[in-house]
A and B are shown apart, each in its own frame.
Chain A
Amino acid sequence: DGGITQSPKYLFRKEGQNVTLSCEQNLNHDAMYWYRQDPGQGLRLIYYSQIVNDFQKGDIAEGYSVSREKKESFPLTVTSAQKNPTAFYLCASSIVSAARDEQFFGPGTRLTVL
Chain B
Amino acid sequence: ELKVEQNPLFLSMQEGKNYTIYCNYSTTSDRLYWYRQDPGKSLESLFVLLSNGAVKQEGRLMASLDTKARLSTLHITAAVHDLSATYFCAVDKETSGSRLTFGEGTQLTVNP
Contacts and interface: CB of A to CB of B under 8 A. Distances in A.
Contact of B96 (A40, A44, A59, A96): A96
A88 to B, nearest CB: 8
Contacts of A96: 96-98
B97 A50 contact: yes
A100 B104 contact: no
Interface stretch (A65-73, A76-84, A105-113): A105-113
A43 B102 contact: yes
Contact of B42 (A31, A41, A102, A105): A105
A41 B48 contact: no
A98 B95 contact: yes
B42 A101 contact: no
Given A90-B43, A104-B45, A106-B42, A42 B88 contact: yes
B25 interface: no
Given A90-B42, A96-B96, A101-B97, A43 B88 contact: yes
A25 interface: no
Contacts of B95: 98
Interface residues of A, number: 27
Which of A31, A43, A44, A104 has the most chain B CB atoms closer than 10 A to its own CB? A43
Interface string B1-34: 0001000000000000000000000000000010
Contacts of B105: 40-42
A19 to B, nearest CB: 20
Nearest to B102: A42
A45 interface: yes
Which of B88, B98, B104, B105 has the most chain A CB atoms closer than 10 A to its own CB? B98
Contact of B33 (A58, A90, A102): A102
B48 A102 contact: yes
Interface of A: 31, 33, 40-45, 48, 50, 58-59, 90, 92, 94, 96, 98-108
